[in-house]
Every structure is written in C-alpha cells, then in structure tokens.
Chain A
C-alpha cells in the first residue's frame, strides 16, 4: 500500500468523516420494509450489538463492549443457562477439579455489566436488514453483530462415527454431558482395560487437549487401574508441546518402555483411524483393527453451524475475517471471533478467543462511535497438566502487519524449558499457575 503523507492522511480522514455520515444514512433500515417497532428503536438512537454464542469469545466481547461504552446495548444470545468450559475439563478426569467448577453462570454479565442475556438460538441472520431471527420467533435489530459459535464436527469422516454414536461414545470436545459420560465410562472400566484416544487432523479446538487428556486419564489409571493402557491413534505426525509431553510421559507414565501406560501411534506409523464399529467396540486404523474398552474419537472440526448457514465460512469450513476488527470478509457489519474464525497463527484456544474478543470489542465500539480503530495485539497462553503437580505451557505474542496478516513476534513466545536442557524446569510452578490461570481467565470472561 502507498504511504500517505500527512496532508493526504488528513484529507482522507476528513473524507472518511463525510463518508461516515453518508453511510449512517445508507445503513438506516429502509422505511417501507421494517416493522414500526424497529424504526422507533432506531430513531431513539439506541445503539445495538447482538452477540451469538455465550462461550469464551461471546461472553468476553459482551463484557468488554459494556466496559468500554455503557451506552451501547448488548444482547447475548445463548441457549444454555450456564457455560461449561472445555478447558479444565480434562482435569475432572484426574480428580483435580469438580465438574461443577467448570460451570459459569451469566448472572454477573447481566447484573454487573448490564448485558441482556437471551436464552434462545439464532436460526437466521439477515445481513441486509441487519437482524437476527431466533427459534422463539424473536426479531432483533443490530448495528453490529458478533458471531462466536465455536465448533461443529465432520460427522462420519471416520466412517461409523456419527452424531448418534457420539451419545454412546463421547468425543467430549464440547464440555457438558459428553465430559460426564466419558468419566463414567473410565470409572466403570476394568483394571487392565484399553482406552483409545483418536485426535483429529488440524486445525481443531485446543491443540494440546487430546494429549493433556491422555495424561489426565493416565494419572487416574495409574492410581486406580494400573494394568490399563492408553493408545493414542493420531491423524497427525506431531502435536502441540510434543517434546514436553513425551518427556513428562517418560518420567511419569513409563513412555517408551514395555510398561508404558501411554502409547502414541502417529499417522506415519499408520495410526490414523478410518472407521469405527460401535457394536464391537473396535476401531479400524491404517495399521489394522484394535478393540478397546473406552473409545474417545475426537472428530475433525469446522465452524459452528450458524456460521455455515449465514454464509460466513469459506471452502475451509472456517470464517475469514479482517484481523484488526474481526469483521467478516464475507458479510459487512458481522464479526466472527473464537474457534470459528480464521485467526492467522492464533490457535483455537480459550485464551486466544478471549484475546480476539477484546480486540473485536474495542474495534466495534470504535466503529460505532466513528473513532479510529486501535492497533491490536494478542496473546495466547496454554497450560497443560501432565500430572496435578507437573505443568507445561506454550505462549506467544501476536501482532498484525500492514497487509492485515497476523504474525507471531520473532523471538517471543515458545514452550516451557525442557528438562533435556539440563535444568529441572518449573513444572511445579507451572502446575500451580495453570490452576490459578483457570480461576483468573474465567473471572475475566464471566465475572
């Protein structure tokens, strides 16, 4: 892009001011097509943001918009009465956390920040009339819409693993009943049983998650069912924090020995699962078939359903956005954040969704107030537990260049110190920070 000198910049700024006034007129709902009530609301000058999805992205955006400008009315649409975080849900398996401790109500968003919470589902987005239509027949006008729908699954990509089958063989990749079912099955399993975890191809929610899950299940089995075994049948050849996980497994779970509690079979060793037979509790991987007692297939993923029906996704199944504002590159005035968005190098993590939501919130406020959008930056920090007292992390700072591309800052970030470097590292400190992080990020999102 050509660099503007000061005079040119001022000229464009002034023109933009005029354009803003013009666009404000253009964007008024067309009188003839709109119900009277909506025009009345608009005429009163009530500025409205609607947010779809009360997970990490949606809840954070709601709170931070209200904190930045309490004159903006924010309606958060979420069918569930409370939100169960996916992060931390592996810890329940190891008995580090109660399931109830994963659940967060919307009471503080409503009472402390004045967010309107609507327990309903959006069935349709009408970008021309700027309204969403809900299952209960509500019709809500928005000046800006933020869509934070999380993930949906590619059912039957592993042949036989359908949505119906997932009610009996949980993926547990959306926390809630699925998490509880997986834990019940692990508790019911015999000593000497086999657990299969089948992580998906990239990209997917919580890249270190399947491997932390293996760790937490191993911690439980080591104490209660020590003759049991976990097989990770992977669609990939590497994974997040791999060196640190393998090192932790060697130290704790006999990884690489004859008595290994965890065995990881990558795609290169024909570990990829192709088919599932629920009746015989058998998976068919590229190496052949394997029977197991508990089977946890985590299917390949795409953006949440509403993103697809609204036309916000591209051929990848995820949503392209402008990264300074998180406004959709496909539909103006609609922003997409969290796991559903294409976020450059930012992973599909809770921390990233929280970080994206804050940048989006301030951008939405700026755009609605005719102010300059600020220069963004993001952080991702992901802790994983190998045991309750053995924590590892990955962190990165992200910025955006003039081409609107997010980049990881050179020299920053990376994973925890490895024990191979000849130092003990900070595994205990990181385990304590991990648990403290859960309390602080959920407070930042919901409370």
Chain B
C-alpha cells in the first residue's frame, strides 16, 4: 500500500507539474494577480481611513497597466513599494498580468 502510494505520487508529480526544461518557470499570471489583491483589493474597496489611497485595479486598460509596471520595474516612476514589487517579475510576466487584469471577465470580486 505504502509503495503503491509512493509510485502513484511520483507519477502524479511528473504528470501534473510543469515540464522542468526551462531554467526559470513563467509564473502563473492569475496567481500573481491574486497576490496584488492583498493590497489593491479584488474590487474597489471603500476605506474609511484613506479612501482610494491604494488604487483599484479594475477597469484599467492593459496598455496603462503594462506601462506603469515596467516604469516601476526600471525606476522610471517613483512609488513606495511598487518599484520593489515590480522588480520581482520578468517583462513577460508583467505583460501577462496586464492582459489578465484588463480582461473584464477575470478581475471580479
């Protein structure tokens, strides 16, 4: 039973995980965006303390998002933490994030 489980598990591991040929894997854009929601909220949140201080990510065009994120990444725009966050992703990942956020069906509460 124990051995069978191990075999099953290792087969599952090989089958369901990303192929490991790439040195650095491309992070899933939806998971990246879920992490953004920790500060930005999944929809426009009404904060009694500092309403709108952290901008909502809803209803923004992809071109604006990708420009903002790459500007933060390369320090062309000064922020507080966004410069530090944007440097964590490749241009390809930031582009995928922008596409995901801009798709009206994806960015919902």
Chain A positions near chain B (C-beta within 8 angstroms): 1, 3-4, 9, 12-17, 19-20, 22-23, 26, 64, 324, 332, 351, 354-355, 358-359, 362, 366-367, 371-379, 381, 393, 395-399, 402, 409, 411-414, 416, 426, 429-430, 432-433, 435-441, 443-444
Contacts and interface: CB of A to CB of B under 8 A. Distances in A.
Nearest to A412: B88
Given A16-B12, A16-B14, A440-B39, A358 B88 contact: no
Contact of A16 (B16, B21, B50): B16
Given A381-B38, A436-B49, A444-B42, A19 B88 contact: no
A409 B25 CA distance: 13
Contact of A20 (B12, B18, B32, B37): B12
Contacts of A411: 87
A379 B38 contact: yes
A371 B47 CA distance: 38
A328 B38 CA distance: 25
Interface of B: 4-5, 7-9, 11-12, 14-21, 24-28, 30-32, 34-42, 45-50, 53-54, 80-81, 84-85, 87-89
A440 B54 contact: yes
Contacts of B31: 358-359, 362, 374-377
28 contacts: A4-B19, A4-B21, A9-B19, A15-B15, A16-B12, A16-B14, A16-B15, A16-B16, A19-B12, A23-B12, A355-B34, A362-B30, A372-B17, A375-B18, A375-B31, A376-B31, A377-B35, A381-B81, A381-B85, A395-B84, A396-B84, A413-B85, A432-B50, A433-B39, A433-B50, A436-B54, A440-B41, A443-B45
Given A16-B14, A440-B47, A393 B80 contact: yes
Nearest to A12: B14
Contact of B9 (A15, A332, A375): A332
Given A381-B85, A396-B88, 18 more contacts: A14-B15, A16-B11, A19-B8, A362-B30, A367-B16, A372-B17, A375-B18, A375-B25, A376-B27, A378-B35, A381-B39, A395-B81, A398-B88, A399-B27, A432-B49, A433-B50, A439-B49, A444-B37
B51 to A, nearest CB: 8
The 9 closest A-B pairs by CB, nearest first: A16-B15, A397-B88, A412-B88, A374-B28, A439-B47, A435-B49, A440-B41, A379-B35, A412-B87
Nearest to B35: A379
B27 A375 contact: yes
Contacts of A9: 19
Contacts of A377: 27-28, 31-32, 35, 88-89
A14 B16 CA distance: 10
A26 B84 contact: no
Contacts of A23: 8, 12
B26 to A, nearest CB: 6
Contact of B80 (A366, A376, A416): A416
A19 B80 contact: no
Nearest to A445: B38
A81 to B, nearest CB: 23
